[in-house]
Amino acid sequence: MPFIAGQTIVHPFHGPLRVVRITDRTVRGVTQSYLDLQALGHPLDMSVPVGRAEDVGLRLVASRDRVQELLAVLGGPTDDQVLGWSRRLKSYQERVNSGDVDQLCFVIREITRRKPKSPASSESQLLRSARSTLVIEFSIALGVTAEQAGRLIDSAAEGTPNSATLHLEALPAA
């Protein structure tokens, strides 16, 4: 995937990042091109060798069609598997850490519908983290505010996918 300065890409763990610049660095006598990246939504700067970008899992921001597919995942049926709290949390953390956006949507849907008892619970913290990553990506992909993207995600995750689809269709084409 070719990269250009100013482009927004997605890291599997850190979410959307902006390519600040592409620089050449010499490390141990070997010159490589590096992507200097800046996170959107939280303070983080990082560098990734261009040749390792695919290995790291860097990808383009989701398209409008892909957002539609993700809304279907968010609005899909809940998992009937009954797990204890600690096993469920471990499963959710593994899914989020996989970097797969479909797994991120699964976790958001399951926690949203399970409604943790305490807003400070580990599940709630995981939900906030996963949701914020998805909100930023949806807002970039659809060219809408974070608030609009959040409402779209919440609507689908709460089990009202038709409402989410209607909201998506009402949004201007990016």
pLDDT value at residue 121: 84
Low-confidence ranges of the chain (pLDDT < 50): 161
CA dist 64 and 70 (Å) reads: 10
pLDDT value at residue 15: 83
CATH number of the domain where residue 53 is located = 2.40.10.170
CA dist 71 and 106 (Å) reads: 10
Count of domains forming the chain: 2
Q: Shortest CA distance to 67 belongs to which of 146, 135, 145, 132?
A: 135
The residue range of the domain holding 21 is 8-60
Sorted by sequence, the CB contacts under 8 Å of residue 137 that are 6+ apart come out as 10, 15, 16, 61, 62, 101
pLDDT value at residue 150: 94
Same domain, 112 and 71: yes
Task: Answer whether 0.75 is exceeded by the pTM.
Answer: yes
pLDDT value at residue 151: 93
Same domain, 24 and 53: yes
Same domain, 49 and 120: no
CATH number of the domain where residue 86 is located = 1.20.58.1290
pLDDT value at residue 170: 57
Q: Cβ–Cβ contacts within 10 Å for residue 164, how many?
A: 23
pLDDT value at residue 153: 95
pLDDT value at residue 85: 82
pLDDT value at residue 168: 59
